[in-house]
Amino acid sequence: MDGAEGLDADEVFEEDFGDVVRLSCPDCGRPIAVFTDEEQLPQHALCPTPWNPFGLTVCGGSGRAVADARPAGGGADAVAQQDLARLLTLPAGLDWRTQPFSHVGGPESRPISMPEQGLAA
């Protein structure tokens, strides 16, 4: 019997991993999850450009003291992401599935019937 067979899907993701905090690496600025009892930042990758994800290197901030890092999520990037999410969210009364761009001919439209074409011999 598989260990996950008798578990509910929600229970699988509710495992207790201890206390984890998100810190911003002092070298690359990326958010990193760190256990509260860790003293050093874990080894993490640095992607110099998004256009070359295969050129990963180890960040120089790996192994630095946790005390050097600041809490992640409180900077201008977080505010910009919230503003972007607010901009991309439709108002509560609108449903994207009923918008004109999601249905070519409107709600009453039906598929166009095409004449059958014989196979070329």
Phi-psi region of 18 (alpha: psi -120 to 50; beta: other; left: phi over 0): left
- Rounded Cα gap, residues 67 and 39, in angstroms: 8
Q: Is 24 helix (H, G, I), strand (E, B) or coil?
A: strand
User: What confidence tens digit (pLDDT) does each residue in 50-83 have?
Assistant: 777 788 889 899 999 998 988 887 555 555 666 6
pLDDT at 64: 92
pLDDT at 92: 73
Task: Please give the single-letter amino acid code of residue 112.
Answer: I
* pLDDT values of the chain reduced to their tens digit, one per residue, 121 residues: 455 555 665 555 555 556 888 888 999 888 888 888 889 999 988 887 777 778 888 989 999 999 898 888 755 555 566 666 776 776 777 776 666 555 556 566 666 677 887 776 6
Cα 36 vs. chain centroid, distance in angstroms?
23
